[in-house]
Amino acid sequence: MHFLDQAKIYLRSGAGGQGAVSFRREKYVEYGGPDGGDGGKGGDIIFEAVPGLNTLIDFRYAQHFKAQRGFGGAGKNRTGAGGDDLVIKASDGKLLNFTVPKGTTFTTGGKQVSLSELKPGAKLTAPVSTGSDGQIVTSISVAKGKVFVVTPPDGVTLSLAEGTKELVIPAGTTFMVDGKKLTASELKPGMMVEATIVTTAADGTSAASAPALSGALLIAHEAGSEDLPAAGTRLPLFAALGAACLALGFALLAFRKPVSQLQ
């Protein structure tokens, strides 16, 4: 899909309809007087928040919006019909996390910049082609923790105050450890890192507020109970593999003993 987060549009509500100039003329009625009706009310412009809409790309091609004008009045004090309201569909304002293809460039401030050069708060002025639809950001938090295990090429499990958490490392992310800049592959268990953790989900609500970014940016994906076991890490899998290898070792040892006794 194409993603754009800034657009300039021009809006005009509908003008009121023209009033009618009319005088009452009726047999046996003296001094009938004016009886022209008022013009109808002009249409309003209404923005409708659409949950499934997550880009402003439509406003790049249609920038001028004008509601319908009210209809004119008529004699016998008849008021003109009101103009139709104009409904504009827009994003519901939720924070979204996008994954963009490698090498994607962005236009901001009239300049082309890479993903690593993009700064928080920058306004995109040209559409960006993303690999998939954005995921809703449910929370943003800054945390410090120790590296528990690294799962190349883009996974890391941190030991935080609330427990261990499995996170995804975006491509090109670097970590500051003891004043040195390290890549994901250079992380070692026990290293202390600081990161901004962005939690995303297929469905949810936008984060109420976003703190200032600090350290590396890591992604945490929420999942339902049917998607993950009770422990949301790969540790149970590693334990099961270790137990299987240990059982196989004992079986081989027990098999070799009778053979050696026969010799």
Question: What is Dmax (Cα atoms) for the chain?
Answer: 138
Ordered by start, the domain boundaries in the chain are: 134-232, 233-263
Instruction: Name which of 49, 47, 48, 44 is nearest 66 in CA terms.
Output: 44
How much is the pLDDT for 222? 59
SS3 105: strand
Q: How many residues does the chain have?
A: 263
If pLDDT is split at 50, 70 and 90, which confidence band does 97 have? low
pLDDT (0 to 100) of residue 15:
93
Confidence at residue 4, expressed as pLDDT on a 0 to 100 scale:
67
**pLDDT tens per residue, range 102-126:** 777 777 777 888 776 777 667 776 6
In the predicted model, what is the mean pLDDT of the chain? 75
DSSP 31-74: S--B-PPPPPPPPPEEEEEETT----THHHH--EEEPPPPPP-B
Tokens coding 127 = 């559409």
pTM of structure? 0.42
Q: Which of 171, 197, 153 is nearest to 102 (CA)?
A: 171
Mean pLDDT (whole number) for 57-64: 85
Predicted confidence at residue 204, as pLDDT, reads: 46
> What is the rounded CA–CA span in Å between residue 102 and residue 3?
16
Strands 128-129 and 2-3: antiparallel
Contact indicator for 128, 100 with CB cutoff of 8 Å: yes
Q: What is the pLDDT of residues 212-221, one digit of tens each?
A: 455 555 666 6
pLDDT reported for residue 221:
61
Is residue 70 over pLDDT 60? yes
What pLDDT is stored for residue 81 in this prediction?
A: 93
Tokens of 141: 């938090």
Buried b (16+ CB within 10 A) or exposed e, 188-211: eeebebebbbbbbbeeeeebeeee
DSSP 125-188: -S-EE-SSPPEEEEEEEEEEEEEEEEETTTEEEEEETTEEEEEE--TT-EEEETTEEEEGGG--
Rounded CA gap, 187 and 173, in Å? 12
pLDDT in tens, 125-157: 666 666 666 666 666 777 788 888 888 777 888
CATH classification code of 134-232: 2.40.50
* Residue 153 confidence (pLDDT): 73
Render pLDDT for 153-167 as a digit per residue (tens, 0 to 9): 778 888 887 788 788
